[in-house]
Amino acid sequence: MEFYEKLQSDLKKLAGDELDETVHVLSARTLSAQEAIGNPERKDFPLLKGKEVMIEASFKGFKGHAYTNMPGDFSGLLSNIVQMPLATNFDRAVLVASLNAVMCSHGLITNTIHCIDNEPEECAQQLSDTIMSRFGHPKIAFVGFQPAMIDRMSELFKLRVIDLDEDNIGKEKFNILIEGPDNTEDVLSWSDIILATGSTCVNTTITRFLGKKPVIFYGVTIAGIAKTYGFERHCPCAH
């Protein structure tokens, strides 16, 4: 948990005098699927299937999103966030979404609100172009289930996909067998680069992917953490 304790400490330093100003109340709420992702043509996103939820932290008019598999509601001060025990994925999602909102309010990051409608398809196209220009045709370890990206990547690269959703594990999606977390080390050893969902910073698996291969995190969840720790993030279509 040292990673998250440091994150709380970083948020405390960033907030400064705002920690104890009771007028600055931070709230996080669970968004409906339509609020979070709009109405994309593709209907197999985890948000639309109810497998994950997006929470939204609001701070001084600025918003930050984070994925979690544990819905819930929270309202409190920033001082509560930096002191709260991080026992669950929801607790960590509140921390991460709050960091995104606060950093956005300070002008340190942008793109903290999830893209909508068919913007995920555009995002996938840009990501594939970036990978090809930088790495050629690498073998990719893809962590998480982002269907627009997997669909696009499977046409262009050698790809192995790891997911936590038991409904996906062992099934073929876009002609790719979805593998479970038990295969993580084998998949990472096989790959040249890693594309990982930013929600790994909520479910505590992020450290499994650091320092092994070039890694690109995708999505809004990891916005603040990526900026703070210098991780590469792909999320061009977020708002």
Write out the chain's pLDDT in tens, 239 residues.
689 999 999 999 998 888 874 333 445 555 565 665 565 554 454 544 446 788 888 888 899 999 888 878 888 889 989 999 999 998 999 999 999 999 999 999 999 999 888 898 999 999 999 999 999 999 999 999 999 999 999 999 999 999 988 889 999 999 999 999 999 999 999 999 999 999 999 999 999 999 989 999 999 999 999 999 999 999 999 99
The predicted structure's pLDDT at residue 188:
97
pLDDT tens column, 10-67: 999 998 888 874 333 445 555 565 665 565 554 454 544 446 788 888 888 899 999 8
**3-class SS of residue 22:** coil
SS3 letters for 195-206?
EEEHHHHCCCCH
Residue 131: both structure tokens together: 């990978």
Is domain 119-234 in CATH 3.60.15.10, yes or no? no
Q: Is this prediction's pTM over 0.85?
A: yes
Q: What is the DSSP string of 155-207?
A: HHSEEEEE---TTTTTSEETTEEEEPGGGHHHHHHH-SEEEEEGGGGTTT-GG
**Among 159, 141, 113, residue whose Cα is nearest residue 200:** 141
Output the CA torsion sign for 143, 229, 28, 237: negative
What value, to the nearest 5°, has the Cα angle with vertex 203 and ends 201 and 99? Answer: 40
Instruction: Sketch the domain layout of the chain as residue ranges.
Output: 2-105, 119-234
Residue 96: both structure tokens together: 């991460």
Share of the chain above pLDDT 90, in %: 67
**3-class SS of residue 107:** coil
